[in-house]
Structures are given as structure tokens and as C-alpha cells.
Amino acid sequence: MTASVSTPALIALDWGTTSLRAYLLGADGLALDTRASSAGIMNLPAGGFDQAFEETCGAWLDAHAHLPVIAAGMVGSAQGWVEAPYVETPANADALVAGIVDVKTARGVVLHVVPGVLERGVLPNVMRGEETQIFGALASEPALGNAGGALIGLPGTHAKWAFVADERIERFYTFMTGETFSALRDHTILGRTMHPTATHDEQAFLRGVDTARDAGHPGMLATIFSTRTLGLTGQLSAEQQSDYLSGLLIGHELRGLNEVLTREQSALAGKPLRLIGNDALCNRYRAALARFGCHGAATVAHATEHGLYGIAALAGLVAARRAA
């Protein structure tokens, strides 16, 4: 919970596949109260979306019946509460506002659902929820939206890297880094020689990053096998193998991104760059980015709340409350 003298102005939901985070935001956009639940859209209680919504936001609405409610994330997917069709790149905040789809809850409150973003092309890409966080980052630091452009990374199960410029999401990539790491660790021979530990072995992690970054190998399907063979040859302990593999995969992600930039006469080292995500993971990425010459990749705090508040304000939801 965050103390604030502000009065409640908005209920903002980050409603994903496996979790639901709710924020009671004041007129200044700061959180007055927060709720977290495991009621993601694939993990709903018996009463479905309405029940999850009541359990999370019911008390707030009992106290403040007419608060506007906005949501982003998988809740707007085809498997969500209501489908908010994707907005296509390049996408600015106005396009997201224009794409908002409403659904009426059992309580009679309207839930305003922000659409995701789709990039068409040979390798199509989709995001739901991250677009809102990205506009939250631009709200916190408007210079990121300049014409020169910036890169915003959102590490995780499906890591996203978005190119932003002119206050728009120009294009983005999805890297299945987190999910591939789990699948390799838990369901291939690589996991069999690993000994899990609670501590992060920075040296093993960076060794993995450096191995992926350096040119003299034939790609990720080959480098990952070294997790095993460095163990077999006594060069990597069982306790180090998990962090080494993590470094390899994050290193391959950043190498791939850097190669795209290089083809555009740019580089990770020369780009304004921000991270959005949990601290431990952002710290890993920051350490890995430094190996590519990229420093100053700060983590954006409260990107989700800022993004939801900003879109609600642009949609007139918060202004309407203020006027009420």
C-alpha cells in the first residue's frame, strides 16, 4: 500500500494470463491501494471474470461506487472477458484509446478494456499489456518518445523489445527467452546435471552472456550444449549451470537484437534504452547489456499504473471523474 492524500480517481487493472493486479489510483496517478491475485484469465475462480473482479475490486467500489475502471492485458484477448481487437503498428496512445472495448460487470460497472498491438509482416508480433506499460514509460520520461527513438525492453517469459519514436510504438520483437529457459532446464538433458541454488552466480551468468555474444560459434542450438560439456570437463559446477544457461539465452537475445540494429547502422551501445519488469530480472538484463557496451539502461518504475492512468486520462475517464 502507498500512502497518499489524494482521493480515489481510477481503478486500474493489469489482468494477464496467470495473475491480476489491481491499483486504486488517486487523481495524481499515484497508487492509494493495490491488490494482487492469481486469478489470471486461465486461472479464474468458479464465478469467472465477475467473481474475480468482485473479489479484487468489490470493496473499493463499495466505498466509491462511481469510480471508472480500466484494464489492460490478456483480459482483452479472444479468451478474455471481452475481445478488444489488436491495434496495428505504428500505434500511438490515441489509437489505443480509440480501440478500447467496454464490458458491463454484474455489478453494473463498465470495464474499459485497452487493446493490444499487432505488427504484421513475415514474422508477425503481438502484445497485450506491454503496450500500456510502454506508454507508461513514455509518460514518465517524455523524451523517450522523441523522433530519435528509444528501445524499451520488457524481460520475462516472452520478452518484448519495442522501438518507440514520435510517441508511437513503431515495431517490436518477441523473444521466448524465459519460457525456452524453463523448457530446456526442466525437459532436456541440460537440467539433469544442474544443482539448483538460491543464489545468483554472476560470474557463470556473464560467462554465458559472453559466449553467446562472441562470434565463433554456430548459434544457440549449439552453444546450449556447452552447459553440459563444460560440466563434463570440470569447467562449470552443477551449481553454476543454471545461471550459465540463463546468461547464454539472454546473451543470444541481445546479440540478435544488436544484429538487427547493426543492419540499421545502429547498436545497443548507442541507443537510449529502458527496462520494465521485476528488479531481479532487470538487473540480469542490465548486467548483460553492459557486455554489449550498453550502459544506463534504467528500470522504469510504476510503468503499469502510469500507463493505465495515462490512457484513462486520454480517454476522458479520469477527467470525467474529476469534473464529477
Cβ closest to a copy of itself, residue 72 vs residue 224: 224
3-class SS of residue 118 = strand
Residue 268: closest CA among 253, 248, 247:
253
Cell numbers standing for residue 74: 490478456
Q: Are 23 and 4 in contact (CB under 8 A)?
A: no
Q: How far is the CB of 167 from a copy of itself (least distance, A)?
A: 24
Q: How far is the CB of 159 from a copy of itself (least distance, A)?
A: 8
Q: How far is the CB of 273 from a copy of itself (least distance, A)?
A: 15
User: Please, what's the largest Cα pairwise distance for the chain?
Assistant: 71
Q: How far is the CB of 211 from a copy of itself (least distance, A)?
A: 7
List beta partners, residue 127.
Answer: 117
Residue 241: closest CA among 290, 197, 176, 291:
197
Residue 158 buriedness (CB in 10 A; 0-12 / 13-18 / 19+):
middle
Interacting residues toward a copy of itself by CB under 8 A: 118, 120, 122-126, 158, 161, 173-177, 179-180, 182-184, 186-190, 211, 215-226, 229-230, 232-233, 235, 249, 252-253, 255-257, 259-260, 263
How far apart CA 212 and CA 19 sit, in angstroms, is 32
Q: How far is the CB of 254 from a copy of itself (least distance, A)?
A: 9
Sheet holding 87-88, edge to edge: 87-88, 117-119, 125-127
Q: How far is the CB of 31 from a copy of itself (least distance, A)?
A: 31
Residue 72: closest CA among 5, 137, 3, 127:
127
Q: How far is the CB of 169 from a copy of itself (least distance, A)?
A: 16
Residue 102 buriedness (CB in 10 A; 0-12 / 13-18 / 19+):
exposed
Cβ closest to a copy of itself, residue 259 vs residue 279: 259
**Bond into 272 cis (ω within 30):** no
Q: How far is the CB of 258 from a copy of itself (least distance, A)?
A: 8
- Percent helix, percent strand, percent coil in the chain, to nearest 5: 40, 20, 35
Cβ closest to a copy of itself, residue 233 vs residue 265: 233
